[in-house]
Amino acid sequence: MDRFGIEEIFAAQGTADRKEAAVETFIQGSTGLFLSGGAVGRAFSGLFPSPAGAAVQVLLLLLLFYAGIRFQKHRAGRSTDRAMLEHSGCAVFDYRVPEKTVRLSEGAMKLCGLPRAVRNIPELLDSGIIHPDGASRLACVGRKALNGARAQGVLRVRGASGEYRWFRITLTPFGKKRGRPEDLFGVLQDVTAQKEAELNCRRERKYRKAILGSSLASFEANFTLGRYYGGGKPMPGLPSEDGLDYSGVIGQFAGQSVFSEDREEFLRRFSLESVINQFIQGETKITMECRLCGKDGSCLWVLFTVSLIEDTHDVWGIAYVKNIDSQKRRELSLREKAERDSLSGLYNKGMTESLISEFLENQAGGIHALLILDVDNFKRINDTKGHQAGDSVLARISGILRRIFRSADIVGRIGGDEFLVLLKDIGSSEIAARKAREVCRTLCVCVGPEEREFCSVSVGIAMYPQHGTCFSELYRKADTALYQAKYSGKNRYVLYEESSSPQFWDHSAGP
């Protein structure tokens, strides 16, 4: 029975005016404004002249006294709760429903940069103190609380610094009047760290789902403990068991599945020690394009990726393998066309010079030789037999050069009838000279007897590091040696020497 059934009792007595005054007295007394026995007696005097009415009056007085005690305890409890909440880092406030006024505690004032009392609530909300994406959520929480139920919601609130942070707002209704609360007790609790962790986790799950959905294989690893967990997509070489030794698994996978030319770099990037070091240096993702070998000998280009995160002081990672074979082969084809000379199939001038320069810049030792080859009397071939015949000669010479030199050497066509070769790690200038002699002999014999006089070559040689350590210096000296070979009769090679005596550095290609 609402308000202890007072309205029902007064309706039976039929004294409407005095009933209203007594109820008002009762409400005021129950909110602790006064509990004076005289005031209560005066309010109820004359209402119940009969003995039965006197009994009702006594009952009402007892109920009123009990309600006052309850209210005092309740108010004391709320004060204690408020102090405890403030002490725990929460900010509290009161919203007086009839006045539509918010009264803030000291903590709430410092948090939001607002005065103690705020009366224009719509204007406050329009100022952006609540992030726009939380406006509807706040309205929902407010409606629920005004309907008499405790309500909660999480939204972003702008602090005194102007930065938005995540808060859990709790509204608890108090003091109902005419079916609606007169007061809403509010608590703001900063949950930014928790919310951001939740959002990161949600993004991570979404990202992982998208990535793993298109991957060939995946696994997880605890790099701090060196453990492998194969709960993702399995593939040959990557076991499905959990808790295995990471180094053992990755080493076996590299040995069985990674193409031999990519294996060393793969192990360098994804070894346990390397992953930990890269994480310490701030890396969160380690990637490598490599080739995986099938049982039938075929190769598949893949992107091997390890994404790193720190979880409870351990470094974890999720690894996945993505098929990039089609796009990689297209890329290599386009690169091949951009890097290669269309007539000879060798590297073009720009790529040849770039590759040699890059190789020399990264050298810390070793002996290498730079050779410049020039076809003798090539202009006469073009003039007497036509450019088509000249192109045919260049194509045949290019094929011979590919067979003579190793795959590790750099061979390119840098001009109409001029070729450039870097012999890597040859050991001595004598070996470079023997290779140059082989070139001169082979080219004279292989292009055909009727064209023999036109198809000999002259070669100039410069040695690294004896004659220089950069491309431009070696090229200049090899070109000087080539000029000497031409000057000395062609069809020969010359090893550059600081001496200017032709007899010392001129070597015939003949036996």
Give the tens place of pLDDT for each residue, 423-450. 999 989 999 999 999 998 888 754 444 5
pLDDT of residue 467: 94
Residue 241 Cα to chain centre, angstroms: 28
If one counts every other C-beta atom within 10 angstroms of the C-beta of residue 290, the result is 23
Residue 21's pLDDT band, with cuts at 50, 70 and 90, is: very low
Which neighbouring-strand residues pair with 95?
Answer: 102, 184
Q: Please check the confidence at residue 458 and state whether its pLDDT lies above 80.
A: yes
Write down the domain spans for the chain. Answer: 2-82, 89-190, 197-328, 340-508
Class of domain 340-508: alpha beta
Report the distance separating Cα 486 and Cα 459, nearest Å: 9
pLDDT (average), residues 466-491: 93
Contact 161, 110 (CB under 8 A): no
Average pLDDT over residues 173-194: 85
Percent of the chain exceeding pLDDT 70 equals 76
Q: Which CATH class is domain 197-328?
A: alpha beta
For residue 207, the SS3 value is helix
CB 214 within 8 A of CB 320: no
Q: Residue 111 is inside which H or E element, if any?
A: helix 106-112
pTM comes to 0.44
Considering the four listed CATH numbers 2.40.33.10, 3.20.20.70, 2.130.10.10, 3.30.450.20, the one that applies to the domain covering 89-190 is 3.30.450.20
Fold match, 89-190 / 197-328: yes
- Averaged pLDDT for residues 3-9: 38
